[in-house]
Structure 1
Amino acid sequence: MRIAIDARAYGWTGIGRYIRSLLAQFAQLPKRHTYIVLTGDSTAAQVASDLPDRTQFPIQIVSDSYYSWQEQTIFFGQLLRTKADLFHFTHFNVPLLFNRPFVVTVHDTTRFVFPGQKQQSLWQQLAYETVFAHAVGSAKHVIAASTSTARELTRLPLTVAPTTVIHEAVDDRFSAELTELAKTKAHMLLGTNDPYVLYVGVWMSHKNLERLLAAFAFVSQEHPDLKLAMTGKPRRGYDNILNTAQRLGIADRVIFLGFVPEELLPALYAGARCFTLPSLFEGFGLPALEAAAAGVPVVTSNVSSLPEVMGKGAHYVNPESVDSIARGISRVIDDREYRLRLVAAGQQRAQQFAWRVTAQRHLRVYEQATNT
Structure 2
Amino acid sequence: MRSDAARVRIALNAQLLAGEASYRSAGIHRYIYEVLRRLPRQAPWIAFTAFIGPRSAPPDAPGIRWVRTRWPTHQPLIRILWEQLAFPLLLARGDWDLLHAMAFVAPLALRLPVVVTVYDLSFVRYPQAFRAGNRAYLRLFTRLTCQRAAGILTISQAAREDLIRLWGLPPERVAVAYPGVDPRFRPRPLEEVAAFRARYGLPDPFILYVGTLEPRKNLEVLLEAVARLTPPVPLILVGGKGWKPAFLPRLWDLEREGRARWIGFVPDAELPLWYNAATLFAYPSRYEGFGMPPLEAMACGTPVIAARASSLPEVVGEAGLLIDPGDVEGWVEGIRSLVRDAELRETLRGRGLARARRFTWEATAEATVALYNKITHNDLSA
Q: TM-score, normalised by structure 1?
A: 0.88
**What is residue 42 of structure 1 aligned with on the other side?**
55
Task: Determine if the alignment matches structure 1 residue 101 to structure 2 residue 113.
Answer: yes
Paired-residue identity, %: 29
Q: Deviations over 1:149-169 (max 9, x none)?
A: 111112214445711122111
Task: Determine if the alignment matches structure 1 residue 155 to structure 2 residue 165.
Answer: yes
**What is residue 6 of structure 1 aligned with on the other side?**
13
Pairing partner for 2:77 from 54, 68, 91: 68
8 Å CA contact retained: 2:187, 2:301: no
**What is residue 21 of structure 2 aligned with on the other side?**
none
8 Å CA contact retained: 1:332, 1:338: yes
Q: Structure 2: which 5+ residue stretches go unaligned?
A: 1-7, 19-24
Matches within 5 A, 1:67-216: 67-68=76-77, 70-73=79-82, 76-82=85-91, 83=94, 84-120=96-132, 125-159=135-169, 162-175=173-186, 177=188, 184=195, 188=199, 190-216=200-226
Secondary structure of the corresponding residue to residue 41 of structure 1: coil
Aligned residues: 359
8 Å CA contact retained: 1:106, 1:143: yes
Q: 1:168 to 1:74 in 2, by over 3 A?
A: closer
Q: Deviations over 1:97-133 (max 9, x none)?
A: 2332111111111111111123426xx5433311011
Secondary structure of the corresponding residue to residue 55 of structure 2: helix
**What is residue 285 of structure 1 aligned with on the other side?**
291
8 Å CA contact retained: 2:255, 2:261: no
Q: In the aligned structure 2, how far is the partner of 1:250 from the partner of 1:312?
A: 36
Pairing partner for 2:263 from 253, 257, 277: 257
8 Å CA contact retained: 2:83, 2:106: no
Alpha-carbon shift at residue 193 of structure 1 (Å): 4.5
Secondary structure of the corresponding residue to residue 192 of structure 1: coil
**What is residue 322 of structure 2 aligned with on the other side?**
316
Q: 1:154 to 1:75 in 2, by over 3 A?
A: closer
Bigger drift between 161-170 and 308-317 goes to 161-170
Alpha-carbon shift at residue 283 of structure 1 (Å): 1.2
Secondary structure of the corresponding residue to residue 116 of structure 1: helix
Q: In the aligned structure 1, how far is the partner of 2:238 from the partner of 2:262?
A: 6
Matches within 5 A, 1:278-357: 278-357=284-363
RMSD across aligned positions (CA)? 2.5
Q: TM-score, normalised by structure 2?
A: 0.86
8 Å CA contact retained: 1:65, 1:71: no
Letter in 2 for 1:99: R
Secondary structure of the corresponding residue to residue 42 of structure 1: coil
Letter in 1 for 2:89: L
Alpha-carbon shift at residue 179 of structure 1 (Å): 9.4
Q: Deviations over 1:157-207 (max 9, x none)?
A: 44457111221111111126459668745753x443543211111112111
Q: In the aligned structure 2, how far is the partner of 1:352 from the partner of 1:287?
A: 15
Q: Structure 1: which 5+ residue stretches go unaligned?
A: none
Q: 1:70 to 1:234 in 2, by over 3 A?
A: closer
Q: 1:179 to 1:14 in 2, by over 3 A?
A: farther
Alpha-carbon shift at residue 353 of structure 1 (Å): 1.0
Q: Deviations over 1:78-113 (max 9, x none)?
A: 343133322211211223323321111111111111
Matches within 5 A, 1:20-39: 20-29=33-42, 31-39=44-52
Q: 1:305 to 1:247 in 2, by over 3 A?
A: same
Q: 1:196 to 1:76 in 2, by over 3 A?
A: farther
Q: In the aligned structure 2, how far is the partner of 1:277 from the partner of 1:21?
A: 24
